[in-house]
Structure 1
């Protein structure tokens, strides 16, 4: 695919919109992510989400599952003039060059109207590299200037069992995916109409159904 310039991204409205109308600044096909990029569908809006690493996929599902999160905007562009000014004040070289925007992996919108910014890294060894620390510090000071909390999170800290369960139940988020007792159960868990332990083990739907029936709940029949 031909390289898209900064000006081209601006003309296409990249980095604008919310919910189903959001357009990420970067798309998977435009970056070299060594085969780890993924496109997932936001199960609440139907929008294609562009995630550049496996860690971003895991954290997308964890953040989307939170009750206080209403929207996630991935590959969110930072104002170039601000990051250039920050990097100059710090005496750091601006990432790429002073004509290329930095991005934050995910900017979430919360139910109270506030925001949080997230940078997703593989593990804490990223902090062993001085240049990585410089770039993260520029990103942190940018969000600090806007009074928006900035978090660095790690793939290595993810509870894989919880992520796998979220992925599995949200695959049945839409009504049209319900076709039997098991998919109906996954649908209700995805909508949090039924609360189960998602963190300690992979969900055993057959066992859950049996427990519910033994307790006199018959909606699955």
Structure 2
């Protein structure tokens, strides 16, 4: 039996009626974290661009998501994006490979992250651990994705754990937590507030955390205020930092004010 003669998995057919459609807050991923077994590594995390929870199926997906969610040209990210079955069947026939299926039923091919960029063509990202690339079926599925997205005029990228360092991953997770912080102390911050805090520690060569703690005492602020404001400003791309160095080691002189941050060392520079 030809793949084109096989029926679609009923579960996938049902999901396609409501998922993988729309953008921003209205987008619903094809696969959600509670629907899969991910070895205990799955995350629901609020997106700064989409203003909705994103469903990420591994720690590596989380790292990739945080990089692109922070990238200054990103306007939307769609995770677990389903590719049209008609297109993937056609691509498989052309490539001479078997379409993904389970128990004789066709399975929808998904792309881990689809990033919509301001004034640029989009970017499709397949997130895979390097060891998974030893599996031929995994490689074939990646070929399907690559052909599909290139047909759509999107750039296609493969993202592995080798793309970013442990320091960048830790920093991005620390900054994302700051972006999620709803503490009333930080909700009404203006650019002038951030500049004022920045001016208080600028020029010092001492450790940022040490100086911020001393400033809290000097200005009779709640403990953690200065580092909290700074963390919020970095998360909002208003202060530039060396993401290649773990945040605990930043000195005051490592920071600089900026109005447009182009993701420093690491994978996202490749996007521009």
Q: Could you tell me the TM-score, scaled by structure 1's length?
A: 0.83
Alignment of 1:196-207 (within 5 A): 196-204=241-249, 207=251
Deviation at 1:150, TM superposition (A): 0.8
On the 8 A contact 1:25/1:75 being kept in 2, the answer is yes
Residues 76-122 of structure 1, C-alpha deviation per residue, up to 9 Å, x if partnerless? Answer: 01010010111122221101256321100000000114211000111
Alignment of 1:16-35 (within 5 A): 16-35=21-40
Aligned length: 206
Deviation at 1:201, TM superposition (A): 2.7
Deviates more, 1:143-152 or 1:95-104: 95-104
Residues 96-155 of structure 1, C-alpha deviation per residue, up to 9 Å, x if partnerless? Answer: 2563211000000001142110001111x3332222221111111111211211111102
Identify which of 89, 95, 100 aligns with 1:95.
100
Could you say what secondary structure the match of 2:37 adopts?
A: coil
Which residue in 2 is equivalent to 1:160?
166
Which residue in 1 is equivalent to 2:232?
187
Q: Could you tell me the TM-score, scaled by structure 2's length?
A: 0.69
Q: Which has the larger radius of gyration?
A: 2
Deviation at 1:156, TM superposition (A): 3.2
Structure 1 gap ranges (5+)? 213-221
Which residue in 1 is equivalent to 2:221?
none
On the 8 A contact 1:43/1:171 being kept in 2, the answer is no
Find runs of 4+ consecutive structure 1 residues off by over 4 angstroms. none
2:56 matches 1:40? no
Deviation at 1:178, TM superposition (A): 5.6
2:82 matches 1:77? yes
2:129 matches 1:122? yes
* RMSD, aligned CA: 2.4
On the 8 A contact 2:50/2:77 being kept in 1, the answer is no
